[in-house]
Amino acid sequence: MPTHAGDDCDGKIWGFEGINIPLILAGLILSVGLSMMLFRQQAHSPFVSFGVGSLPFILMVAYVLGLRQGKPRHYATDLLETFTSGTAWMAARRQPRHPLYPL
């Protein structure tokens, strides 16, 4: 009999998995802070301030939607390991024998 326990559920807010919400909020906070900082200097136009300031939010949303949302838990780190060393999802070339079974 299913209990629908809350511990088994990651939860979703606005269609995003619960663990991704703090990442998106951090990108939003960085974007607002950067936009305000650039706008206060008055060395740039408001469009440049908003455009450059929105980059952290855009990059974070692209990261979440591209590499985290709906993917397995360690998808992003496995993909990075595959790009750097080429061995993340492949079996080992030479599997060591088990020490208790010397066959």
Nearest Cα to 8, choosing from 20, 21, 23, 18? 18
Question: How many domains would you assign to the chain?
Answer: 1
C-alpha to C-alpha distance for 9 and 71, rounded to whole angstroms: 15
Instruction: Decide: 44 and 38 in contact? Cβ < 8 Å.
Output: yes
In a domain, 65, yes or no: yes
- Those residues whose C-beta lies under 8 Å from the C-beta of residue 19, and which sit 6 or more positions away, are 10, 68
| Domain coverage including residue 60 | 12-85
pLDDT tens figures, 57-103? 999 999 888 888 888 888 888 888 887 877 666 666 777 777 777 65
The pTM (predicted TM-score) of the whole model is: 0.67
C-alpha to C-alpha distance for 1 and 47, rounded to whole angstroms: 57
In a domain, 52, yes or no: yes
In a domain, 6, yes or no: no
